[in-house]
Amino acid sequence: MTGAPSAGPASALYLGVDAGNSKTAALVSNTSGEVVGAGRSGCGDIYGAPTPEDAVAEVLAAVREALDQAGADVTAVRGAAFRLAGIDWPEDQEYWDAALSRRFPDALRRRSILNDGYAAIRCGSPGGVGISVTGGTAAAIAARGHGGELWDMGWWGQHEMGAVGLANEAFRAVFLAELGLGPRTALTAALLAHYDKPTTEALNHWLTRRQEQASVRERTSCARVVTAVAAGGDPVAVDIVRDQGHRFAQYAGVAARRTGLVGEGRPVSVVLSGSVLMAKDSPVAEALLSQLPAHVPGAVPLSSSLPPVTGALLDALGEGGVALADAAVADATVEKVTRTLPPDEFLAT
């Protein structure tokens, strides 16, 4: 962020961190929500980084950059929210708590550490109650109830979703068709063209060979191809997309039940985010929305154009005493945060 006003070391600041496999982002704001510092680094997932210590180093690098840009010391941070991929079990949370305590023994004492799935909730529901359904490279689903109940999918997800799910289901369909064990599909020609491979055998070899096989990013790059083929009416691709949407809705239903959001008779905010669900005319989002009422009665779908780190920052503000449950306060704070965010390219994956 260029030209951000200095917060000054004595100012009360709030820190939000969103860490995933592709990047870690950190934002620092003052009490009004004005973003005064931003930082970015690499993989902050203790399951995805070469070592857990590497993930910690990346998260701390983003925090340092954001604070340096704010012209402030960590002791000025009144509240911090760490929303980190790989917070899936109690020991993961304990690991991060210990790591932060070692690095900041006299600061960041008011902090929360949760799975990154929670970050998107306040991007659409500033009060912090509701469900987030993120479909990006993979899937993250989390919910917070009116009584503070928390649930996130973590390792409970038994289906591949997001771009990974679309890609792997499409590969399976193409290879089964080649073997005569599945119906012919337009996905075959589409994927061969996308990856510039002459045959399905060449594609299979590239995806599975021992050396120089396709990276995760290369494998998942075909997600938009799969949805485009589905939009063209190919029955196999249509089934893949519909199954994806149904699975997202099913897990959102689990999140609603586990946090007491079902049966209250109140509207339930369901915030959609991630490249797969936010793509223009996304057939996966369409399939999800068609199934959602059956699994989350009273669901109110909301699409978020804000980056998840914004939700982490709003969590820090809300947990630090800013009355985001008050609609007027929430609106003013979100407007201030949105207006002072760093450029889109800074937070792009």
For the chain, what is the mean pLDDT? 94
Q: Per-residue confidence at 129, pLDDT binned at 50, 70, 90?
A: very high
Tokens, residue 348: 């792009």
Q: Which residue has the higher pLDDT, 136 or 239?
A: 239
Q: What is the DSSP letter of 266?
A: S
Q: What DSSP string runs through 190-233?
A: HHHHHHT-SSHHHHHHHHH-SSSPPPHHHHHTTHHHHHHHHHTT
**Apex 285 CA angle, 260 and 167, nearest 5:** 110
Range in 68-72, 79-83, 263-267 the model is least confident about: 263-267
Residue whose C-alpha is closest to residue 255's, from 115, 48, 136, 349:
115
81-100 pLDDT, tens digit per residue, is 999 999 999 999 999 999 99
Burial label, 184 (beta-carbon count in 10 A; 0-12, 13-18, 19+): middle
35-56 pLDDT, tens digit per residue, is 999 999 999 999 999 999 999 9
**Average pLDDT for 131-155:** 95
Say if CB 71 and CB 5 are below 8 A apart.
no
Say if CB 274 and CB 162 are below 8 A apart.
yes
193-223 pLDDT, tens digit per residue, is 999 999 999 999 999 999 999 998 899 999 9
pLDDT at 8 over 60: no
Q: What's the rounded Cα separation, in Å, for the pair 324 and 327?
A: 7
Q: Per-residue confidence at 349, pLDDT binned at 50, 70, 90?
A: low
Percent of the chain residues past pLDDT 90, beyond the cut? 89
**Average pLDDT for 305-319:** 94
Q: Per-residue confidence at 9, pLDDT binned at 50, 70, 90?
A: very low
Say if CB 240 and CB 286 are below 8 A apart.
no
**Average pLDDT for 307-326:** 95
**What's the pLDDT at 242?**
97
Q: To the nearest 10°, report the CA torsion of 64, 65, 68, 73.
A: -20
219-247 pLDDT, tens digit per residue, is 999 999 999 999 999 999 999 999 999 99
**What's the pLDDT at 310?**
96
**What's the pLDDT at 3?**
40
pLDDT at 10 over 70: no
Percent of the chain residues past pLDDT 70, beyond the cut? 97
Say if CB 271 and CB 132 are below 8 A apart.
yes
pLDDT at 6 over 60: no
In the chain, the domains with their CATH numbers are 13-126+306-347 (3.30.420.40)
pTM value? 0.90
C-beta neighbour count of 106 within 10 angstroms: 8
